[in-house]
Structure 1
């Protein structure tokens, strides 16, 4: 039995996924797919397939959808074009999830041992979709400076290395370290806290050597009931993971599951809120 680690250094950087974690846009994705699937006499999308799509590059996600619903006769490019048309209508309706605005504002004025907490965004959404979902929420997303917004089409992420690969979170950490104030020590992976709702994202965070807070949609939580410890260890989709040395161990203390971001336990991570 693995002994849970308790001697973590205080968190100095918080790295955030977006869809389903900061915004209710995961529900919008489901709605858009269901509208389109209905025209192909398929669907509706359930969490069996939905859980496989979260955080993944769009082209990979669509191939999985078409395969799951036996729509091999549907051209992926045509499906993508039709889906984007629906998303352009629905994405601007995205809204913050409970506790998000308060958490981001608090972190922007918090500290750890006299040093400020740094934050970055790490989302698989490409720039076009990012703008659709956030242009009406500029005040909230203003806490993420441009250089610390890592989007799915960021050229620093190698092709084919989307979540569950760790690259996006390692790029986000580098973006923070490259823009630290003079005199600040470089932040290490174990000083980072990744906020995720999807299983591929939790795996990505663990493989990056970072601590993880998992805040799943209730539908996803139900799907993984009884397997939460495996998810938090970064082992939620073991068949796909080749680099065993990057995975955690069940109950190793590096991950925590929360129902929502309301009332986030700052002190548990060495963060002095609002100082």
Structure 2
């Protein structure tokens, strides 16, 4: 059994759900009399529901309360969540973790109701699975608290954790927690510039990067300067 653990973001990383998040948001806002600006989806990757609501207030003058926004979006999202699929390459990664007996956890900026719906849809919800939702912490990503909580629940030191993220807020959170971070953007997200301390993986081949880290000495995380998490 490896002495490492892998902590996965959920939306856009394990589950191909970013598109549904945006579609549900757009549908809810349309029903409330609002429309979204072009390319708004690119701006909300990795953001919590509350942060999205705040951005909507600034961007389109959205005036309805957070509770109304959440209720509308979640209603649309949950109605379609059963059709969600795992992101391409995830099956290979899960096989690798099984073969190396590497524990893993799910760390999401989404609320628990969405986390559970996603995990059920892609057949990843099972007894003993460690998952951290936005409801389980005081501060969500980019704060390190969600990743530190997952490490605590797994009983693994943060320095022995490998984070897999598709977003900048998540990568910043993992680095701030003192963990090794793999940036794994979705193939079409060539616009994302991860912090310099993150290790970039091929959007179509996460397993190679992860296998290299799992077989390397634990202090491999020092080969990059992890003090700069600003870019």
Smaller-chain TM-score range?
0.7 to 0.9
Structure 2 residue matching 1:108: 3-state secondary structure: helix
Q: Which residue in the other structure is 1:117 paired with?
A: 102
TM-score relative to the length of structure 2: 0.81
2:52 to 61, 65, 73: 61
Measure, in 2, the Cα distance between the counterparts of 1:271 and 1:21: 22
**Aligned-partner Cα distance in 1 for 2:91–2:3:** 20
Question: Residue 152 of structure 2 aligns with which residue?
Answer: 174
| 4+ long deviations beyond 6 Å | none
SS at match of 2:164: strand
What is the CA distance between 1:52 and its match in structure 2?
A: 4.4
- Offset from partner CA, 1:122-156 (integer Å, 9 cap, x none): 11222211222222333x344x823x2212211xx
How far apart are residue 120 of structure 1 and its match? 1.2
| Deviation sequence 1:213-234 (CA, Å, 0-9, x none) | 1112344323x3xxx3xx233x
Partners of 1:34 and 1:149 in 2: how far apart?
27
When residues 259 and 150 of structure 1 are mapped into structure 2, their CA distance, relative to the original with a 3 A threshold, is: same
Quick one: structure 1 residues 27 and 204, their matched pair in 2 at CA, closer, same or farther if it must change by over 3 Å? same
SS in 2 for 1:203: helix
In the alignment, the residues of structure 2 paired with residue 14 and residue 268 of structure 1 have an alpha-carbon distance, to the nearest angstrom, of 13
Larger RCO (CA within 8 A; separation ≥ 6): 1
Matched, 1:77 2:76: no
1:232 counterpart = 2:195: yes
| CA-CA distance at 1:265 after TM superposition | 3.3
SS across alignment from 1:165: coil
- Cα contact 2:15–2:84 (8 A) shared by 1: yes
Structure 2's unaligned 5+ residue stretches are 217-231
Tell whether the 8 Å contact from 2:53 to 2:66 is kept in structure 1 after alignment: yes
1:195 maps to 164
Q: Is the 8 A contact 2:184 2:206 kept in 1?
A: no
Query: Residues 4-60 of structure 1: CA distance to partner in whole angstroms, max 9, x if unpaired?
Result: xxxxxx8711110100001111110011112233342421552xx434433333222
| Pairwise CA distance, 1:171 | 0.6
Instruction: Kindly name which structure, 1 or 2, has the bigger radius of gyration based on alpha carbons.
Output: 1
**Structure 1 gap segments, 5+ residues each:** 1-9, 111-115, 178-186, 234-251
Q: In structure 2, what is the Cα distance between the partners aligned to 1:50 and 1:84? A: 16
C-alpha distance in 2 between matches for 1:270 and 1:74: 47
Partner residue of 2:122 out of 137, 147, 156 = 137
Determine helix, strand or coil for the equivalent of 1:232.
Answer: coil
Map of 1:43 onto structure 2: 36
* Count of residues in correspondence between the two structures: 214
Asked if 1:211 corresponds to 2:180, the answer is yes
Q: Structure 2: how far apart are the matches of 1:50 and 1:199?
A: 14
Q: What RMSD in Å do the two structures reach over aligned CA positions?
A: 2.4
Q: So what's the TM-score if we normalise by structure 1?
A: 0.69
